[in-house]
Each structure stands twice: as C-alpha cells, then as structure tokens.
C-alpha cells in the first residue's frame, strides 16, 4: 500500500531535520563571522561553498515541510502551522518554535556578516587606492635606463 499523505510522525521528523539543519547553518555563519573578523580570506572561500550547500538543503527541507503540511490541510503561514501542530502533533510545537527562533537568529547573523563583508570590502578598496596612487607616483622615480630619476623642484641645493 502506497501512502501519499504524511503522518504527524513524518512531519515531526521533518521538523526535527529542519531544526538540525538550521543549527548547523547558524554554526556555519558563526564560523564565517570569525573568519571575517580575522581576515581569513581562504577560509571564507571554503565556507561560501558550504553555505551554498546548506542553503539548498534548508530550502529543500522547508519545501518538504510546506508540502507535507499542505497535504494534511494546514495553512502554510506561521499561525496555520502552529494551529495544525497544536491539534495533531503538540509534541512538535517546541521544535517549531525552535525553527522560528533559529530562522530569526540566522537572518540577524547573516545580516551582521553582510555588514562585516561590506566593511572589509571598503577597507580593501581603500588599500587598493593607496597602492595605485603609490605606483603612479613612483613610476617617475626610475628612468628608462633603470637609473634613479628623482624629480627636482627647480632649485638646486644651497641656492636660496
């Protein structure tokens, strides 16, 4: 016999998987934040790949939850999920509340990391500007023959 409609136990398992994935994502964001603060660009590259995979997994879990609840007649808004869980799987309410809290925390942490990225980018752009200016002003220090060619002010030393 093929069962198409998920049971409350199936939904409880899906909610737990989603909560676990959110916990893992928060840990990833915290690691990213530490790498941003420490200026560890190489670690950020590896984390970006992990974040992409984690976001895809979270989207899949949220979609599965949404579809399972819709199949059971629940509205897909927060209040509808809450009401359905209260009536059919009250033991899953704490997990649902954890998901909501973790989602809000994730949003805040991601926003904070974005601000750190913008600050780091601004700093790097300023450093590049300084380097470009230094290269441009140093370009006249050596002549085509490789000998120092210091700019003169038009006066010789000792002339008043």
Q: List pLDDT tens digits, range 94-110.
A: 999 999 999 999 999 99
Distance CA 112, CA 93 (A): 29
Of 31-35, 38-42, 144-148, where does mean pLDDT reach its minimum? 144-148
Q: CA dihedral in degrees (103, 107, 108, 109; nearest 10)?
A: 90
Q: What's the pLDDT score for residue 77?
A: 86
Number of domains making up the chain: 1
- Tell me if 48 is assigned to some domain: yes
- Tell me if 152 is assigned to some domain: no
- Tell me if 31 is assigned to some domain: yes
Q: What's the pLDDT score for residue 2?
A: 44
Q: What's the pLDDT score for residue 157?
A: 54
- Tell me if 28 is assigned to some domain: yes
What own/partner pairs with CB < 8 Å and gap ≥ 24 does 10-14 have? 10/68, 11/65, 11/68, 11/69, 11/72, 11/89, 11/92, 12/89, 12/91, 12/92, 12/95, 14/61, 14/64, 14/65, 14/68
- Tell me if 155 is assigned to some domain: no
The CATH number of the domain where 72 resides is what? 1.20.58.300
For the cut 60, the answer to whether the pLDDT of residue 14 exceeds it is: yes
What's the average model confidence in pLDDT over 51-56? 96
Q: What is the 3-state secondary structure (H, E, C) of 104-148?
A: HHHHHHHHHHHHHHHHHHHHHHHHHHHHHHHHHHHCCCECCCCCE
pTM of the model: 0.76
- Tell me if 1 is assigned to some domain: no
Q: What's the pLDDT score for residue 133?
A: 81
For the cut 60, the answer to whether the pLDDT of residue 3 exceeds it is: no
- Tell me if 2 is assigned to some domain: no
Domain region containing 79: 8-132
- Tell me if 102 is assigned to some domain: yes
Distance CA 65, CA 58 (A): 10
């Amino acid at each position: 016999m093929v069962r198409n409609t998920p049971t409350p136990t199936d939904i409880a398992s899906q909610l737990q998987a989603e909560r676990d994935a959110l916990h893992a994502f928060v840990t990833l964001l915290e690691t990213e934040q530490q790498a941003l603060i420490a200026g560890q660009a190489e670690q950020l590259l590896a984390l970006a790949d992990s974040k992409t995979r984690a976001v895809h997994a979270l989207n899949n879990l949220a979609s599965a939850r949404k579809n399972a609840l819709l199949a059971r007649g629940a509205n897909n808004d927060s209040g509808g999920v809450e009401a359905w869980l209260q009536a059919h799987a009250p033991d899953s309410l704490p997990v649902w509340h954890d998901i909501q809290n973790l989602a809000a925390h994730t949003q805040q942490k991601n926003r904070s990391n974005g601000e750190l990225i913008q600050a780091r980018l601004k700093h790097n752009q300023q450093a590049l500007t300084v380097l470009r200016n230094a290269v441009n002003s140093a370009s006249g220090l050596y002549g085509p023959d490789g000998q120092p060619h210091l700019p003169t002010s038009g006066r010789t030393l000792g002339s008043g």
